[in-house]
Structure 1
Amino acid sequence: MSLLDDFLIRAALAGLGVALAAAPLGCFVVWRRMAYFGDATAHAAILGVALSLAFQTSVFAGVLAVALTMALTVSTLSGRGHAVDTLLGVMAHSALALGLVAVSFIDGVRIDLMAYLFGDILSVSRTDLLVIWGGSTLVLGLLGWRWSALLTATLNPDLAWSAGINPTREQRILTIALALVVAVAIKVVGVLLIAAMLIVPAAAARNLSTTPERMALMAAVIGGFSALGGLAIAWRFDTPAGPSIVSLAALVFTLTALIPMRQNARS
């Protein structure tokens, strides 16, 4: 019997794979204040699910295509005088609504709708694991390759230009990485909770870090702990796995947010 024959082992590996990619990427989402941008990209994923089911193609491919299209569209239009928050609100909710309507017209999909919205980590297959870890590896490789340029463009665009770094190009790279994370995370935490896996571990790590590199590392640790711990809680108390993972990450954030308050009180 192979270790991967155990559905709990597959679920744990899937959660860990998503967390290790989403949490470091989430640091850039936090630094750039792109929380709503990530939310809009994630909401568009349900439209990708509907299209992939309608055309009988890979869900991963459909979600990746739509998420990437959404991210690139918002990134392009936001630089042409459109109010970013309004644009993101319109596109995020429109894509989610269109996706839900489209799914309702496809026979046999209503039963699985909750899994797409909130994740179904316990049903992860070997193929899903391959997709998740393949996508996560690509995201981590992309971040490692462009780390210095991405960080410079994020912290000081003017300095980036003077150093020969194109901030717009780095924004496109982040967009691609974000779409990849959305595509691989939909099976684990679902459309509505993907943004939380990006933001919450990174926000918690920010309270414990003094350097960008340490924040990215701590975010990965917190994300991995939340994924494994949330899965254990779901198994022990029979709660939804995806929301349990995010809830544990939120608890960690709350605890880390109290640390500076305690330090100030002692001083």
Structure 2
Amino acid sequence: MSMLFDDFLIRATLAGIAVAVAAAPLGCFVVWRRMAYFGDATAHAAILGVALALAFNLSVFLGVLFVTILMATLVSRLSGRGFAMDTLLGVMAHASLAIGLVAVSFLSGVRVDLMAFLFGDILAVSVTDLVVIWAGALSVLALLVWRWDALLTATMSPELARAGGLDPDREQLVLSITLAIVVAVALKVVGVILITAMLIIPAAAARPLARTPESMAVIAILVAIIAAFGGLQMSLWADTPAGPSIVTVAFCLFMLSLITGAFYRGMR
């Protein structure tokens, strides 16, 4: 069994599948709630988490997880308090990225590969990284399955959720924390800049082909898995960066889904 994980391409593929399983169904809620900019703000905060983890000699995953959860909670609490959401997210997204990059520049005696954190380094995933990524991905998936009905109701109609005894603000916070976990999990695979793409593009590709929320989530997972596998193969054959290659394949699948969806609507 250990021989199986000695192949870097096997480890990279398993890491890509883990991110697909976690990011795709969550991405459906990001699309439904129009939270793309929220995902950007949370993802950009990850660089600050990297800097703090390296400064205090902590696990990068734990540092990123702490900062992204803090960012997600802070934005959720500040929204609706005198600032438009897009303004607040714009400030937080770019400020957190800038502060993180400045903080990294102050680290002395620490060698930091910023390109790996910005665009991912899936081919360098270790067995330990793989365990952490899958643990985070399965936690996200379990949380989404557990809260699916509540999250879906709060997304469709906050008023209906309140009438049913649910707290839409609490569900928003659950979604925000889940998003923070996905960012921490996906950092090694696609990097800060491309995490939001892996949240949004598979979900957007699934939308024209799905008839129910559940089928959209399943199709989004399949699209993300195909994108991960196809992107790695493209990187291997064409010697292109792995993270951007995965997102490129995902975009091609998105365009294909638009054409397919338009064709079926025309047939009807």
TM-score range, shorter chain: over 0.9
Deviation string, structure 1 residues 186-222 (Cα, Å, up to 9, x no partner): 0000000000000000000001101000000000000
Paired with 1:108 and 1:226, the residues of 2 have a C-alpha distance of 37
In the TM superposition, structure 1's runs of 4+ consecutive aligned residues that sit over 2 Å from their partners are 107-111, 259-267
Paired with 1:226 and 1:25, the residues of 2 have a C-alpha distance of 16
Shift of 1:109: 5.2
Partner of 1:231: 232
Report the count of equivalent residues. 267
Report 1:1-267 matches (<5 A).
Answer: 2-107=3-108, 112-266=113-267
Paired with 1:174 and 1:153, the residues of 2 have a C-alpha distance of 11
Equivalent pair of 1:103/1:109 in contact (CA under 8 Å): no
Structure 1 residues 93 and 109, CA gap change in structure 2 (3 angstroms)? farther
Q: Secondary structure of 2:189's partner? A: coil
Letter aligned with residue 85 of structure 2: V
Deviation string, structure 1 residues 131-178 (Cα, Å, up to 9, x no partner): 000000000000000100110000011111111111111111101110
Shift of 1:82: 1.3
Letter aligned with residue 257 of structure 2: T
Shift of 1:263: 3.7
Shift of 1:259: 2.2
Shift of 1:265: 4.6
Paired with 2:77 and 2:265, the residues of 1 have a C-alpha distance of 43
Shift of 1:261: 2.8
Equivalent pair of 1:152/1:160 in contact (CA under 8 Å): yes
Letter aligned with residue 190 of structure 1: G
Shift of 1:258: 1.6
Letter aligned with residue 207 of structure 2: R
Q: Gapped runs of 5+ residues in structure 2?
A: none
Q: Secondary structure of 1:188's partner? A: helix
Q: Identity over the aligned pairs, expressed in percent? A: 65
Letter aligned with residue 165 of structure 1: L
Shift of 1:2: 1.5
Letter aligned with residue 42 of structure 1: A
Q: Gapped runs of 5+ residues in structure 1?
A: none
Paired with 2:11 and 2:43, the residues of 1 have a C-alpha distance of 23
Shift of 1:79: 2.6
Q: Secondary structure of 1:165's partner? A: coil
Deviation string, structure 1 residues 7-64 (Cα, Å, up to 9, x no partner): 1100000011011100000000000000000011000000100110111100001101
Paired with 2:181 and 2:94, the residues of 1 have a C-alpha distance of 20
Letter aligned with residue 77 of structure 1: L
Structure 1 residues 115 and 47, CA gap change in structure 2 (3 angstroms)? same
Paired with 1:248 and 1:91, the residues of 2 have a C-alpha distance of 30
Shift of 1:80: 1.5
Root-mean-square deviation (CA, aligned residues, Å) is 1.2
Paired with 1:107 and 1:134, the residues of 2 have a C-alpha distance of 32
Paired with 1:189 and 1:65, the residues of 2 have a C-alpha distance of 19
Q: Secondary structure of 1:47's partner? A: helix
Shift of 1:108: 5.6
Paired with 1:111 and 1:158, the residues of 2 have a C-alpha distance of 48
